[in-house]
């Protein structure tokens, strides 16, 4: 079960591969200026959604995987970011601000609004533990949705149309890379170690001088900020948002990416976000059977790869090899006693 | 005042539905600490079983029985196939599996039954009667009555039968119960059976009460019933009943006196307030981690 | 002046008085044992000293400053570190990371330093790693630095817990049954290790232990607790022959 963390492997293979892929996309985009269209609108759309989902998954991983707080309301933060930035840019589009300035500005505003809501929610609820925290975050996620449904400025259930379509692949790439980089750097610092120590053993962490409440709220606020940012990108990609896009199922979808990728593993989250965004598209030929197959795949994946794709480790060549070789049957039932076979 | 009483009556019948679903959540959680997300969909299966049984012309008691038996078998099957292999895995794994099962049942429902809502055939066409100033319909009385009977039955079962005692033992300490010779696998099966049967009954009753059913009907009531179980104190059977009733009352009172669009926000808000003041629910025990 | 001064602290759980009017005075560099039958309240005293529980009455002073009622992380930063009776390592982290975590406030760089990998971040990280490695080599764990804590043998886990506690640079170290589960050879090694770190880090040590030869050979002073009250205090030899202590351990009347 214990696999060695081999970061050099990641540096060697996965990161260059990912960067090469990004570079290739950008090359295609540059070619478009010369009238050569390699990727069509449909593929571009999927690439955009994949990267938005990467931001969402990585930000939830900070809360859920790294710090170990089960949050079921991430879509709520996404919604706050989406609505705040959308309303701001509709309002500001009449001004003469150039897009290059305006777009990052409204995105940050959306992120900050989400972070603020995250703090409001986090301070009282983070005293709760485990499933109680999960239920409280679920509740807040639903409350945010109902509030949006009932406000005038958000246009309620009809949804908010006419959001400028600022989001393109360049912007998404920029913010995706920034988000992953920032969260990666946080994890690899003493602040990140403090967060991990809370997941590992909260009582010991506190006894070792970790201000657990401060760090729990911090993880929540940072996670909410990036979720809000992703929400803003999402709103300016679709041009129309409604509360339906940010319901409980969306939170679950993000959670799936984090768990499938492996709690605490950023590379895992990135890959899972790509796979889970791409999979439904690939399964489109199944038509009405699509979601049935999708959910069944999910269950089977959980039954046969219990630690997620990557467990807690970052991806590496070493891990890939281990992954491809047959697994030893490993029952963690040591202290719980072996289940009686019937 | 009569308006208030009217909403209380409405709330109690709706609350009975939530309480029946919440019982399944709380029993399963109490024993294996799993939030069984598929439980709301079991309730949907119950509603559709009832729907087809009525269309087949069966008498109501038989309809109710069938709508309890089919979900019960399904619940046991799901536990055997999807949850048992993960019993000693990280809890998040089982949680995600439950979400997967839930998605599977919903989408299978959409595929087989079509996503469109259907009217639930009405068995009881008697006009509602007046009780003082309030109007009470036959389905309301029936829902409340059936729920009450089932809850009383469950309480006796848990308290006095051998299986019931074994269930309580498992909830206290699974390992110790196992060492004392309790067959853990079969008791967990029974727990899923009973929980699913109660959800199935709730499915039929809701069909009679609010005659519109569809494959996604289990999501919101499932979520709220779980919230109700948490408010009552998860793992506690009286807690689930209390929480369910409370949830029903809060909902109808909000609809009646504030606004139906704010209903869910107030229900969830109440949950959070209760958790903040009583972190383990109204009837739950506060467990302190030993250092 | 004494390093730790505990004045008449008491706490009860559900009407049961777990510790009553416990007082203690620890001078710098002292090595004191806290013994007593199971359930006597020893760990509860540790929990009060470290802020896990707050005493209902009494006062705890560290270096003349009251730490009563402070949360555990603050008390740790004031200079009290501990180990746990049931080992509480960060199991899924490497041995090295376990020690590094204890540098919380000594780490001394901001979120911004971390996000931008500033010069300060690199300098501090280097310092932390060096200091952690130094500690690990004192405890004979340097070679295991990349192993997960959960995979260490039991005795090594106990040692790692002490190393982790020391990483916070405490003045007072509380050891809760450090020798539990160790074989005689490991216990002997632990004894010299405790002596060594006390001298090297200028530590005051208070320890709970059931292994009597360990306590008697190591500690200069012993406090005996029974039913939440101090029943004896003194040098090992005095404790050995104290009738009340014998009674508490063996039960029954004093012959």
Task: Please report the residues numbered 9 through 48 in chain B whose beta carbons come closer than 8 angstroms to any beta carbon of chain A.
Answer: 29, 33, 35
C165 contacts in chain A (CB < 8 Å): 208
Any chains having at least 3 CB pairs less than 8 A from chain B are: A, C
- Name B54's Cβ contacts closer than 8 Å, sequence gap at least 6: B60, B63, B120, B121, B123
Q: What is the pLDDT of residues A96-139, one digit of tens each?
A: 888 888 999 999 999 999 999 999 998 888 888 777 888 889 88
CA closest to B289 among chain C residues: C52
**Residue of chain A with shortest Cα separation from C110:** A191
Contact by Cβ (8 Å): B142, B208: yes
Q: How far is A191 from chain B (nearest CA, A)?
A: 25
**ipTM attached to this prediction:** 0.89
Residue B23 lies in a domain: yes
Give the three-class secondary structure for B249.
Answer: helix
pLDDT interval class at A311 (50, 70, 90): low
Judged against a pLDDT cut of 90, whether residue B134 lies above it is answered with no
Q: Go through chain B and tell me how many residues it has.
A: 291
CB contact under 8 A, A204 and C92: no
* CA neighbor of B167 nearest in space, from B150, B149, B189: B189
Cβ–Cβ below 8 Å for B96 and A138: no
Question: Is residue B235 over pLDDT 60?
Answer: yes
A138 touches B: beta carbon within 8 Å: yes
Model confidence at A4, pLDDT cuts 50, 70, 90, reads very low
CATH number for the domain harbouring residue B58: 1.10.3470
In a domain? residue B63: yes
Residues of C in contact with B291 (CB under 8 A): 43, 47, 52, 84
Between B106 and B131, where is the model more confident?
A: B106
Structural domain including B186 reads: 2-124+131-277
Tens-digit pLDDT profile for residues C112-150:
889 999 999 999 989 899 999 999 999 999 999 999 999
**Would the pLDDT of A329 be above 70?**
no
Mean pLDDT for chain B overall: 90
Cβ–Cβ under 8 Å, residues A248 and A138? yes
How many other C-beta atoms can be found within 10 angstroms of the C-beta atom of residue C110? Answer: 14
Are C176 and C200 spatial neighbours (Cβ–Cβ below 8 Å)? no
User: Given CB atoms, is A336 within the 8 Å cutoff of chain B?
Assistant: yes
Interfacial B residues in 92-121 facing A (CB < 8 Å): 92-93, 96-97, 99-101, 103-104, 107-108, 110-111
Average pLDDT of chain A? 83
* H helix count then E strand count, chain C: 11, 10
Closest chain C C-alpha to A87 CA, distance in angstroms: 30
**CB distance C70 to C51 below 8 Å:** yes
CATH number, domain at C13? Answer: 3.40.50.300
Number of domains in chain B: 1
What is the number of other CB atoms lying within 10 angstroms of the CB of residue B133?
Answer: 10
In a domain, residue B289? The reply is no
* Any domain includes C139: yes
Q: Is residue B272 part of a domain?
A: yes
User: pLDDT tens digits, residue range C183-196?
Assistant: 899 999 999 999 99
Strand, coil or helix: what is C31? strand
Judge whether C190 and C159 are in contact, CB under 8 Å.
yes
Burial C225-234 (b: 16+ CB within 10 A, else e): bbbbbbbbbe
Using DSSP, state whether C48 is helix, strand or coil.
helix
Q: What is the pLDDT of residue C53?
A: 92
Give pLDDT, residue A281: 85
Q: Quickly list H helices, A93-211.
A: 99-125, 130-150, 169-187, 190-200, 202-207
**Three-state secondary structure call for residue B231:** helix
Mean pLDDT (chain C) is 89
Q: Which chain B residues in 198-257 lie under 8 Å from chain A, judged by CB atoms?
A: 219, 223, 226-227, 230, 234
Query: Is position B111 within any domain?
Result: yes
Q: What is the mean pLDDT of residues C233-242?
A: 88
pLDDT at A7: 45
Is residue B291 assigned to a domain? Answer: no
E-assigned strand segments in B28-153: 118-119, 129-131, 134-136
Percent of chain C with pLDDT over 90: 60
Question: In chain A, what residues touch B265 (CB-CB under 8 Å)?
Answer: 142-143, 146-147, 150
Distance of CA A238 to CAs A86, A149, A159, Å?
Answer: 11, 19, 12
As for how many domains chain C has, the answer is 1
Q: Dump pLDDT digits (tens) for B98-124.
A: 989 999 999 999 999 988 999 998 888
User: In Å, how far is B237's CA from the nearest CA of chain C?
Assistant: 25
CA quadruple B95, B97, B100, B101: dihedral, nearest 10: -100
Q: Give the DSSP H/E element, type plus range, for residue C226.
A: strand C221-226
What is residue C107's predicted lDDT score, i.e. its pLDDT? Answer: 64
| Mean per-residue pLDDT, B71-84 | 95
Chain A partners within 8 Å of C82 (Cβ):
207
Q: Evaluate if residue B17 carries a pLDDT over 90.
A: yes
Return d(Cα A119, Cα A138) in angstroms, integer: 16
Judge whether residue A219 has pLDDT over 80: yes
Nearest residue of A to residue C121, measured between CA atoms: A189
Tell me the mean pLDDT in the region C42-59: 93
User: What pLDDT score does A330 carry?
Assistant: 40
Q: Could you please report the per-residue DSSP string of A42-59?
A: HHHHHHHHHHHHHHHHHH
Range of the domain at C200: 4-250
Tell me the mean pLDDT in the region C163-172: 92
Residues of A in contact with B111 (CB under 8 A): 288-289, 292
């Amino acid at each position: 079960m214990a696999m060695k963390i081999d970061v050099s492997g990641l540096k060697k293979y996965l990161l260059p591969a990912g960067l090469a892929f990004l570079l290739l996309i950008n090359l295609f985009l540059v070619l478009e200026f010369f009238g050569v269209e390699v990727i069509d609108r449909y593929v571009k759309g999927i690439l955009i959604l994949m990267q938005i989902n990467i931001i969402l998954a990585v930000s939830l991983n900070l809360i859920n995987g790294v710090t170990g707080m089960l949050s079921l309301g991430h879509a709520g933060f996404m919604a706050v970011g989406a609505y705040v930035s959308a309303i701001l840019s509709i309002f500001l589009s009449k001004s003469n601000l150039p897009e290059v300035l305006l777009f990052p500005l409204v995105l940050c505003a959306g992120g900050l609004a989400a972070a603020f809501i995250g703090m409001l929610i986090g301070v009282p609820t983070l005293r709760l533990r485990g499933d109680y925290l999960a239920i409280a975050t679920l509740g807040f996620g639903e409350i945010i949705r109902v509030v949006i449904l009932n406000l005038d400025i958000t246009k309620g259930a009809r949804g908010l149309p006419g959001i400028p379509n600022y989001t393109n692949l360049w912007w998404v790439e920029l913010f995706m890379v920034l988000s992953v980089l920032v969260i990666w750097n946080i994890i690899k610092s003493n602040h990140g170690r403090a967060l991990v120590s809370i997941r590992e053993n909260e009582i010991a962490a506190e006894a070792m001088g970790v201000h657990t409440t401060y760090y729990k709220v911090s993880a929540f606020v940072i996670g909410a900020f990036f979720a809000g940012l992703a929400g803003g990108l999402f709103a300016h990609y679709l041009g129309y948002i409604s509360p339906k896009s940010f319901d409980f199922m969306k939170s679950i979808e993000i959670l799936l990416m984090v768990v499938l990728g492996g709690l605490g593993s950023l590379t895992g989250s990135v890959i899972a976000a790509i796979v889970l965004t791409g999979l439904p598209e690939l399964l489109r030929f199944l038509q009405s059977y699509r979601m049935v197959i999708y959910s069944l795949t999910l269950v089977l994946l959980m039954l046969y790869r219990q630690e997620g794709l990557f467990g807690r480790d970052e991806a590496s060549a070493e891990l890939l090899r281990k992954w491809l070789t047959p697994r030893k049957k490993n029952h963690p039932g040591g202290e719980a006693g072996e289940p009686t076979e019937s | 005042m009569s308006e208030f009483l009217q909403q209380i009556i409405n709330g109690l019948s709706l609350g009975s539905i939530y309480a029946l679903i919440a019982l399944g959540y709380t029993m399963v959680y109490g024993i294996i600490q799993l939030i069984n997300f598929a439980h709301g969909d079991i309730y949907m299966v119950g509603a559709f079983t009832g729907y087809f049984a009525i269309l087949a012309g069966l008498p109501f008691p038989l309809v109710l029985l069938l709508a309890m038996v089919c979900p019960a078998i399904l619940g046991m099957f799901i536990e055997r196939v999807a949850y048992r292999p993960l019993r000693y895995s990280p809890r998040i794994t089982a949680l995600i599996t439950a979400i997967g099962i839930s998605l599977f049942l919903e989408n299978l429902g959409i595929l087989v039954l079509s996503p469109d809502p259907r009217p639930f055939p009405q068995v009881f066409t008697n006009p509602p009667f007046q009780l003082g100033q309030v109007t009470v319909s036959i389905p309301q009385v029936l829902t409340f009555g059936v729920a009450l009977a089932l809850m009383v039955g469950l309480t006796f079962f848990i308290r006095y039968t051998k299986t019931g005692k074994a269930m309580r033992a498992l909830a206290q300490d699974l390992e110790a119960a196992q060492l004392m010779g309790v067959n853990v696998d079969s008791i967990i099966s029974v727990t899923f059976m009973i929980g699913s049967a109660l959800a199935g009954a709730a499915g039929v009753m809701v069909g009679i009460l609010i005659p519109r059913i569809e494959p996604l009907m289990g999501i919101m009531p499932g979520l709220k019933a779980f919230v109700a179980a948490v408010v009552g104190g998860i793992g506690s059977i009286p807690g689930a009943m209390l929480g369910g009733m409370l949830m029903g009352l809060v909902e109808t009172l909000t609809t009646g006196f504030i606004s139906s669009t704010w209903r869910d926000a107030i229900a969830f808000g109440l949950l959070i307030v209760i958790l903040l003041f009583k972190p383990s629910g109204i009837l739950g025990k506060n467990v302190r981690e030993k250092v | 002046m004494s390093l730790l001064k505990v004045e008449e602290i008491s706490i009860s759980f559900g009407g049961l008085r777990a510790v009553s009017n416990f007082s203690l005075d620890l001078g710098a560099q002292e090595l004191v044992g806290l013994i007593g039958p199971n359930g006597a309240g020893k760990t509860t005293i540790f929990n009060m000293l470290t802020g896990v529980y707050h005493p209902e009455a009494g006062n705890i002073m560290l270096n003349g400053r009251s730490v009563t009622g402070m949360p555990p992380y603050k008390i740790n930063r004031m200079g009290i570190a501990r180990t746990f009776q049931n080992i509480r390592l960060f199991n899924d982290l490497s041995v090295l990371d376990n020690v590094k975590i204890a540098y919380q406030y000594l780490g001394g760089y901001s979120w911004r330093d971390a996000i931008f990998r500033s010069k300060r971040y690199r300098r501090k990280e280097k310092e932390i790693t060096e200091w952690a490695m130094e500690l690990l080599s004192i405890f004979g764990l340097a070679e295991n630095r990349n192993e997960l804590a959960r995979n260490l043998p039991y005795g090594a886990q106990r040692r790692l817990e002490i190393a982790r506690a020391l990483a916070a640079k405490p003045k007072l170290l509380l050891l809760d049954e450090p020798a539990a589960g160790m074989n005689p050879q490991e216990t002997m090694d632990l004894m010299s290790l405790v002596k060594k770190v006390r001298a090297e880090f200028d530590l005051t040590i208070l320890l709970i232990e059931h292994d009597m030869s360990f306590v008697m050979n190591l500690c200069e002073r012993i406090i005996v607790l029974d039913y939440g009250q101090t029943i004896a205090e003194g040098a090992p030899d005095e404790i050995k022959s104290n009738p009340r202590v014998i009674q508490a351990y063996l039960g029954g009347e004093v012959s």
